[in-house]
Chain A
Amino acid sequence: MNFLKKTLPLILAFVSGWLAITLEYIPHQNSEATMASLTKGLIIIGAITAFMGIYGLFSLHYLKIKRRSEGWGYSTLVIAGFMIMTAFGIYNNGAFMFQPQVEAGGISWIYEYIFNPCQATMFSILAFFIASAAYRTFRAKSLEAGILLVAAIIVMFGKVPIAGLVSEHIPEVAQWLLDYPNMAVKRAIFFGVALGGISTALRIIFGIERSYLGGE
Chain B
Amino acid sequence: MRLFISIFMIYLGFQLLSANAVEDFSVIDKPNDNGGAIVVSWKEMVAETEKNFFYQIMIAEQEDGPFYPLEKMAYPLKGKGFEVKGYNKEGEESTLVVPNKTYFVKMKVLNGDKSETTVSESEIISVTTKGNFFAFNKLNSFLILIFLTVVIMCFIVYAQRNPHKLFVRRIAGLDAMEDALGRATEMGRSALFVHGLRSVSEIPTIAAINILGKIAKKIAEFDATLRVSNWDPIVQQVSQETVKEAHIEAGRPDTYKSENIFFAAGDQFSYAAAVEGIMVREKPATIFYFGYFYAESLLLSETGAHTGAIQIAGSDAFTQIPFFITTCDYTLIGEELYAASAYLSREPKLLGGLKGQDVGKMAIILILILGTLFTTLGWQGFSKLFWPS
Q: Which residues of A contact B (CB under 8 A)?
A: 21, 24-32, 42, 45-46, 49-50, 52-54, 56-57, 59-60, 63, 70-71, 74, 118-119, 122-123, 125-126, 129-130, 132-134, 136-137, 186, 189-193, 195-204, 206, 208-209, 211-216
Which residues of B lie under 8 Å from residue A52 when comparing CB positions? Answer: 233, 236-237
CB-based closest 6 A-B pairs:
A214-B245, A53-B233, A196-B338, A196-B335, A192-B335, A211-B213
Establish whether residues B156 and A208, one from each chain, have CB atoms under 8 Å apart when the complex forms. Answer: yes
Which residues of A lie under 8 Å from residue B36 when comparing CB positions? Answer: 29
A30 CB, nearest partner CB in chain B, Å: 7
Q: Which residues of B contact A (CB under 8 A)?
A: 32-36, 99, 131-135, 138, 142, 145, 148-149, 152-153, 156, 199, 201, 203, 206-207, 209-214, 230, 232-234, 236-238, 241-246, 248-249, 258-259, 261-264, 266-267, 269-270, 272-273, 277, 281-282, 295, 298-299, 302, 316, 318, 321, 323, 325-327, 333-335, 337-339, 341-342, 345, 347, 349-350, 353-354, 356-357, 360-361, 364
Minimal Cβ-Cβ distance residue in B for A121? B269
Establish whether residues A137 and B326, one from each chain, have CB atoms under 8 Å apart when the complex forms. Answer: yes
B241 CB, nearest partner CB in chain A, Å: 7
Establish whether residues B131 and A27, one from each chain, have CB atoms under 8 Å apart when the complex forms. Answer: yes
Establish whether residues A57 and B262, one from each chain, have CB atoms under 8 Å apart when the complex forms. Answer: yes
Known contacts A196-B337, A197-B203; is-contact A54 B263 (Cβ 8 Å): yes
Minimal Cβ-Cβ distance residue in A for B272? A122
B11 CB, nearest partner CB in chain A, Å: 50
B123 CB, nearest partner CB in chain A, Å: 29
Minimal Cβ-Cβ distance residue in B for A135? B326
Which residues of A lie under 8 Å from residue B206 when comparing CB positions? Answer: 200, 204, 212
Indicate which residue in A74, A123, A190, A212 contacts B318 across the interface (CB closer than 8 Å).
Answer: A190
Which residues of A lie under 8 Å from residue B325 when comparing CB positions? Answer: 137
Indicate which residue in A29, A60, A63, A125 contacts B131 across the interface (CB closer than 8 Å).
Answer: A29
Known contacts A29-B36, A200-B338; is-contact A195 B138 (Cβ 8 Å): no
* Bound-complex Cα distance A189 to B258 (A): 36
Known contacts A133-B302, A209-B350; is-contact A56 B263 (Cβ 8 Å): yes
* Bound-complex Cα distance A28 to B210 (A): 35
B307 CB, nearest partner CB in chain A, Å: 14
Known contacts A186-B318, A211-B210; is-contact A196 B339 (Cβ 8 Å): yes
Establish whether residues A60 and B338, one from each chain, have CB atoms under 8 Å apart when the complex forms. Answer: no
Indicate which residue in B135, B233, B298 contacts A26 across the interface (CB closer than 8 Å).
Answer: B135
Minimal Cβ-Cβ distance residue in B for A212? B209
Which residues of A lie under 8 Å from residue B326 when comparing CB positions? Answer: 133-134, 136-137
Establish whether residues A26 and B338, one from each chain, have CB atoms under 8 Å apart when the complex forms. Answer: no
Which residues of B lie under 8 Å from residue A215 when comparing CB positions? Answer: 213, 245, 249
Establish whether residues B34 and A32, one from each chain, have CB atoms under 8 Å apart when the complex forms. Answer: yes
Establish whether residues A214 and B233, one from each chain, have CB atoms under 8 Å apart when the complex forms. Answer: no
Indicate which residue in A26, A45, A46, A191 contacts B361 across the interface (CB closer than 8 Å).
Answer: A191
